[in-house]
Chain A
Amino acid sequence: MAENILTPEEIIKTGELVFKKTKLMTDANLSYCPGCGHGVAHRITMEVIEELGLEEQTIGIAPVGCSVLAYEFMNIDMQEAAHGRAPALATGIKRVYPNKTVFTYQGDGDLAAIGTAETIHACNRGENITIIFINNGIYGMTGGQMAPTTLPGMHSSTSPYGRDVHTMGYPLKITELIAMLPGTSYVTRQAVHKPGLVRKAKKAIKKAFELQMENKGTSFVEIVSNCNSGWKMTPVESNEWLDKNMLDYYPLGDLKG
C-alpha cells in the first residue's frame, strides 16, 4: 500500500548515516557495466579530492576507453584527451598552473599501449601530477580486444585462442617500468574487488595527491580491476578470477615510495 512506503527522509536519519556519496560525484547514471571496478575507483578518487579540500583547484583528465565519459561523473573541472595523450595534457595544465592539482584517469590500452610514450616521458620529467591507472587486462569499450596487459593465454576478441606471447608479446608491466624512473615519487599497485582493498587503494590515492601537493614529482597508482563483460564472466566470477590470476602477474603493493 502506498501509505506504507517510507520516504527518503524517514529512511535516512542523520544520526544513523554511515555512508554518503561524495558531492564530487554527479548524479548522472554511470555508464559502466554492473560489477565493474571503475565506479569504485571513481568514487574513492573523488572522495580523496573532497577530503583534501582540492575541489576548487583540481583539473582532471579523462582518457579514451571505458572511462571516456569520466567527466560526466566527476563533479570538477575536466578535460577529455585524445587516446593515450592524457599525460601530455596534464603536463600542459600543470606547467601553466603549477599550484593547481592535476590528475589523469586512464585505462591500460590508453596508458600502456597508445599512450606509452606520453606516460613514460611525463613520469620521466617528474611532472607534478597524479596518474590513476586502471588495469583490467582488456579493451572494454571497444568490445573486449587484447590489451597490452592481457595475461598470457588469456582470451579476448583479438586473441580468441588465448594470448600467444611468441606472436603477441608479453603483458607489459608498465608500473614496474615507471617505478624505475627517478621522476616518480610514489608508484603503487592496488585493487578494489574487496572492501579491505578498497580502503587500501583509497589510502594510496590520498598519499599520491598529498605528494603532488608537496611537489614531489609524479605519483602513480595502478588499480588492478575486473571486466566482467569483456572477460565474459559474472561480476563475482570475474572478481574471483582476478584474485586467482591477475595478482600473480601484477602483485599488489608499493613499488616505490
Chain B
Amino acid sequence: MEEVKLMKGNEAVAEAAIRAGVDAYFGYPITPQSEVIEYLMAEEPHKRTGMVVLQAESELAAINMVYGAAACGKKVMTSSSSPGFSLKQEGISYMAGAELPCVIVDVVRGGPGLGTIQPSQADYFQVVKGGGHGDYNLIVLAPATVQEMADFIELAFKLAFKYRNPAVILSDGVIGQMMEKVVLPPQKERLYDEEVDKLYGSWATTGKKNGRERNIITSLELVPERQEAHNHHLQAKYKKITENEIRFETFNCEDADYLLVAYGSSARICQKTIQLARAKGIKVGLLRPITLWPYPSEAINKLADRVKGILTVEMSAGQMVEDVRLAVNGKVKTEHYGRFGGMVHSPDEVLDALETKIIGGQ
C-alpha cells in the first residue's frame, strides 16, 4: 500500500533521501531550508539505513565533505539556500572538474547579499549558468510540487551517477516551506561497500585493493594540452546529456495564442493564470521546464511558431528569460514578468502583465 503523508517540501527532501538509500548528508543550517537537516537529525537515519548525517562548520566544509565522500563512490548530498549556495560554488566547480556525482538542493531565497528569507527564483544564473569558475554544466531539476521535491531526489542521483556529474534540485522558499500531500517512495537499500567497489571501483578512491592501479580524483592538470582534452571530454558529456535528458511539460498549449514559460512555484501560479485568462477568452498555454539544464530550447522554439507572444514568469528581475529569448530567436515578442526580492506574484498580476506586456504591446 502506498504511504501518503502531509509534509513540507524540505521534509519531503529529507525523507526521500533516507528512502533513496543515500549514504551521507552534510549540511549547514540556513533559512528557508533548515528543516532538511533538522528532519534528518530527528529521524536518526543511521538507525534506519546506516545513513550518515553531519552538521558541518560551514557551507564550504559541507560541500567539501560531499566531495570526499562522493569521490569514494558513495551516494552523497547537501542542501542550502542562496547565500549558502554561493559559498558552495567553489566545491561544485571542483566536483564538476573531477566528475563527481552528488546532489545539491537549493531552496532559493531573495538576494543579493543576505537579502531576505522569503522565496525567490533569482538563483537561476548562479545554478544554471555556472557561478563557479571554468566551463562546466550542472544537471538542474526544478520541482514545482512537494511531491516532486521527493521524487527528484532519486532522479537526480540517477542522472548524477549516470554521467558522473553534480546534479542540483533548484527549488524555492515556497515549495520548501509549503505542505502538500506526498506519496513516499519505498525504502531502497544502501549499497554495501563491496557493491560500491564493483560499480565504481574503476574510478572511485575505495582503497587500492587486489593489485589494481591507484585511483586519483583530481581536477588539476598542469599540461594545458591535457586540460584542453579534459575539457573536450566534459563538453562531449554535456552534449550527450543535452541530447538525452531534457524534461519539460506543457499545459493547454494545443490551442494557445499566447505562451507562458515558468518553472517551479511560478509554474504553479501560471496554471491559475491560465484559468483566469481562459475565463476571459484569452487562450494561454504554459511550458514548464523540468530540467533547467539541459534546457528545452527546441520545444520553446517550436511553440514560438504557433503563438503570438511569450511571457516568461519568474521570481527574479529576469534571468531565465535570456534562455527563452535564445530559444525563440526573435520569432515572436518575448518579455519577462516577475516580482522579486522575496515577493511572490499573484495569478492576477501575471495576467495583467500578459495583457499589458504581450497582448496590448503587440
Contacts and interface: CB of A to CB of B under 8 A. Distances in A.
Interface in A84-100: 85, 88-93, 95-97, 100
Interface in B199-222: 205-210, 214-220, 222
B207 A82 contact: no
Interface string B39-68: 000000000000010101110111011111
Contacts of A77: 205-208, 214-216
B68 A82 contact: no
A68 interface: yes
Contact of B216 (A71, A85, A91): A71
Contacts of B65: 88-89, 91-92, 95
A117 interface: yes
A89 B67 contact: yes
B320 to A, nearest CB: 29
A90 B54 CA distance: 13
B23 interface: yes
Contacts of A78: 205, 214-218
B208 A76 contact: yes
B161 to A, nearest CB: 15
B150 to A, nearest CB: 23
Contacts of A80: 98, 216-220
Chain B interface size, as a band, is 35 or more
A59 B205 contact: yes
A80 B208 CA distance: 16
Given A71-B218, A92-B64, A58 B207 contact: yes
A158 interface: no
Chain A interface size, as a band, is 20 to 34
A35 B52 CA distance: 44
A200 interface: no
A61 interface: yes
Contacts of B216: 71, 77-80
Interface string B308-348: 00000000000000000000000000000000000000000
A88 B24 CA distance: 14
Contact of A85 (B91, B193, B219, B220): B91
Nearest to A78: B216
A229 interface: no
A56 B197 CA distance: 13
Given A76-B208, A80-B216, A90-B68, A95 B61 contact: no
Interface stretch (B12-20, B69-77, B277-285): B69-77
A57 interface: yes
B87 to A, nearest CB: 12
A82 B218 CA distance: 9
A117 B67 contact: no
B90 interface: yes
A243 interface: no
Given A75-B214, A82-B90, A88-B56, A93 B68 contact: yes
Contact of A91 (B58, B68, B91, B218): B68
Given A58-B207, A82-B94, A88-B68, 4 more contacts: A79-B68, A82-B91, A95-B69, A96-B76
19 contacts: A56-B207, A61-B68, A77-B208, A77-B216, A78-B214, A78-B216, A82-B91, A85-B67, A88-B56, A90-B68, A91-B61, A91-B65, A92-B24, A92-B67, A92-B68, A96-B23, A96-B76, A118-B57, A121-B61
Which 9 interchain pairs have the tightest Cβ spacing? Answer: A92-B68, A89-B68, A88-B64, A80-B218, A92-B65, A92-B69, A77-B205, A121-B57, A85-B64
